[in-house]
Amino acid sequence: SPGSEWWRTAVIYQIYPRSFADASGDGIGDLPGITSRLDDLKSLGVDAIWLSPFMTSPQKDAGYDVADYRDVDPLFGTLADFDEMLNAAHTRGIRVIVDLVPNHSSDQHVWFQEALKAAPGSRERARYVFRDGRGENGELPPNNWESVFGGGMWQRVTEADGTPGQWYLHIFDASQPDFDWTNEEVREEFRSILRFWLDRGVDGFRVDVAHGMIKEAGLPDYAPVADADSMGGGEQNVPYWGQDGVHDIYRDWHKVLAEYDGDRALCGEAWLPTLEKTALWVRPDEMHQTFNFPYLMTPWDAEALRNVIRESLDAFGAVGAPSTWVLSNHDVIRHASRLALTADSPQGEGIGPKSAGKPDPVIGLSRGRAATTVMLSLPGSAYVYQGEELGLPEAMEIPDEFRQDPTWFRTNGERYGRDGCRVPLPWTAEGKAFGFNDTGASWLPQPAEWAAFARDVEETQPDSTLSLYRSLLAERRARSLGSGSLVWDDVDADAVAFHRGDLHIVANLGAEPIELGDDVTFVIQSEPFAGTALPPNTAAWFTRA
Ligand code: TEU
């Protein structure tokens, strides 16, 4: 049945469970913590929540290394806690999407443990990507691919592991061996895992590394071809990203979801070089949504932002899918910091204490609020990452001994990794660990200045970032901004300007104020200003008399 297609317009709030709310007090957030805070999400006004992984895991990559896809890690609670959270969310009219990690498992998964012990060529090894090495004694890795987290993409099996000699492939950490998705047994297992969670009542899945599941046949060496037109100057024709074979898998899963009701959805995490490629993920019989990373990667530049919005609406529209919009997640620098980075600072990953080009926090927060004011006016579905509704900046001074991102370890501290966007949330200015729990434990230290960002403080301030998000979400809902189209307005070279019915949206990405005219009535300002000239780094929704 067709269902309501709620995902076409939904605002989906990403929960990073280990940093959201900690009911047990062990310093790591958990499912009962989420249940206890659902009313806060209801009052914020989101339609759905997406939970980063909470399945059984040794936590080498914060749960993106799953050892058992059908259970909850004791750190986060139990399956009963999950069911309770799901029911409590549904009771409040909030849908629940869970993270599925199908590209790789943990090395502690029973299949991988069996594979290590089994012989080359065995059924057990065929579930992963084992190959003989190159060189006289196979002492060199099978090809030249490099892990996303740094270092090589192959790990050799040792005597201590099992049957030594062969190498296995891992796009990410060595503790995250890649499945072989050309193997029907792997496909059947994941159909069954999908049904396990669908039967419990989840509304859909965010599919991790959806672009990496199929590798180019023969696993050829990678010879990079730079493509200036693509996202972040990225590369095309990478032999492990965006291979055509992934589409069969999505079509297969689309059918599994359709066995239920029309309201279950798949959202692909696909880092692809262009919007045209990205849109192929959401053809009518494939995924329902995919993240719009070109949008996330867009710098603070009016022309670039106008272009990416236009191209997104065109590319997704051409396949009949909603565009999605996202500014922050658990892998990138929080946008209240990222948007104030200078050209010479690192754009993709965590900002370390030694990094050059540290962002100005005041400018960053203004731009972050303005960027959100634009994002939440756009047609389609938007993602909000926990903490951005408080205007949290990236945590920049995490002491080395606390860092946990495998990137940090695999590059010997050369890349700081993603811990700076994963720090536990401040709920109360006064409480221990800012109310994250009542013991004061916290798996990453919270910056002292976060007291000013605590939810209970922002609750009482009409001009806080939290109040802005609430207003934006309420108006978005009242005006049905999730559906429909937009009409561009020519206001200023440094402006992003369009209208949706009688509602005008303008953002000022330049250095000078932009006069809007004396007939404006403001509906929302990204931060308070007097008069009718839009200051630099702000945005507004308004009507005209
Ligand atoms: O991320 C996939 C991915 O490609 C990212 O690693 C991205 O390239 C990088 O973070 C940009 O800085 C997903 C998850 O979101 C991430 O948390 C996991 O570590 C990764 O998969 C492995 O499961």
pLDDT in tens, 114-124: 999 999 999 99
Q: How far apart are CA 522 and CA 510, in angstroms?
A: 20
Best residue among 209, 330, 383, 410 to mutate for probing ligand 1's pocket (most ligand atoms within 8 Å of CB) is 209
The ligand 1 atom at the shortest distance from the C-alpha of residue 64 is: 23
Q: In the annotation, is 259 catalytic?
A: yes
Type of residue found at 248: D
Query: What is the residue with the minimal CA distance to atom 20 of ligand 1?
Result: 64
Residue with tokens 């927060």: 365
Query: What is the residue with the minimal CA distance to atom 14 of ligand 1?
Result: 208
Pairing of strands 381-385, 11-15: parallel
Bridge partners (DSSP) of residue 245 are none
Q: How far apart are CA 454 and CA 391, in angstroms?
A: 10
Distance 332 CA to ligand 1 centre (A): 9
Residue 233: the pLDDT is 43
Residue 2: the pLDDT is 63
Show the domains of the chain with their CATH numbers: 6-102+184-468 (3.20.20.80), 104-180 (3.90.400.10), 487-544 (2.60.40.1180)
Q: Is 209 in the pocket of ligand 1 (CB under 6 A)?
A: yes
Could you tell me the two tokens for 175?
A: 């503790």
Distance 151 CA to ligand 1 centre (A): 15
Phi-psi region of 42 (alpha: psi -120 to 50; beta: other; left: phi over 0): alpha
The ligand 1 atom at the shortest distance from the C-alpha of residue 149 is: 6
Band the pLDDT of 232: cuts 50, 70, 90: very low
Comparing 223-237, 271-285, 486-500, which segment has the lowest mean pLDDT? 223-237
Q: Is 61 in the pocket of ligand 1 (CB under 6 A)?
A: yes
Q: What is the ipTM of this complex?
A: 0.95
Active-site residue (options: 132, 188, 259, 438): 259
Residues 514 and 493: beta-carbon distance below 8 Å = no
Q: Is 210 in the pocket of ligand 1 (CB under 6 A)?
A: no
In the chain, % of residues over pLDDT 90: 88
Distance 331 CA to ligand 1 centre (A): 6
Residue 354: the pLDDT is 60
Q: How far apart are CA 240 and CA 41, in angstroms?
A: 37
Bridge partners (DSSP) of residue 350 are none
Quote the pTM value.
0.96
Q: How far is CA 52 from the centre of its chain?
A: 9
Q: In the annotation, is 360 catalytic?
A: no
Mean pLDDT, the chain, rounded, equals 94
Residue 413: the pLDDT is 83
Residue 352: the pLDDT is 65
C-alpha angle with apex 14: 177 to 500, nearest 5 degrees?
A: 130
Distance 209 CA to ligand 1 centre (A): 7
Q: How far apart are CA 430 and CA 452, in angstroms?
A: 10
Per-residue pLDDT reduced to its tens digit, 155-167? 999 999 999 999 9
Q: Is 30 in the pocket of ligand 1 (CB under 6 A)?
A: no
**For 364-386, what is the mean pLDDT?**
98
